[in-house]
Amino acid sequence: MTDNPEVQGQPLPVTFRRHKGGEPITLHKFGPKEPGHYSCGVRCEVCGSPMEAGQYTTLVPFRCSEESDPERWGNWLSLEVHYDCVAGQDPPALQAFVDWLDKQIVRGD
């Protein structure tokens, strides 16, 4: 978690991952989620259902960190969602979700 980003007052499971700007987003499958993980019970912003222990999730990069060059490999703010909720999406649909995230998510500082 970093700086408690939020959407409409809801804290979000946001962390950093490596991504190269301008490249298609590669989705890594993480899990199964351990009981007690910080994002257990937190809502997935794609389907609206909570992410639970035993499920698989992924990190969707949506904004380059201030220290990184958006044209190169760097650290990107990324939102955790269910893997299955985004893995089957067409690239334009995924990009639309990323664009939405970048508008919605503000740093809580």
Residues at the contact surface with Zn ion, assessed by CB under 5 A = 44, 46-47, 82, 85
Minimum CB–partner distance for residue 100 and Zn ion (Å) = 15
Nearer to Zn ion, 51 or 64 (CB): 51
Nearer to Zn ion, 85 or 101 (CB): 85
The least CB distance from residue 55 to Zn ion, in Å, is: 9
DSSP per residue over 37-94, as a string? -TTTTPBPTTT-PBP-TT--EEEEEEEE-TTS-TTSEEEEEEEEEEHHHHHTS-HHHH
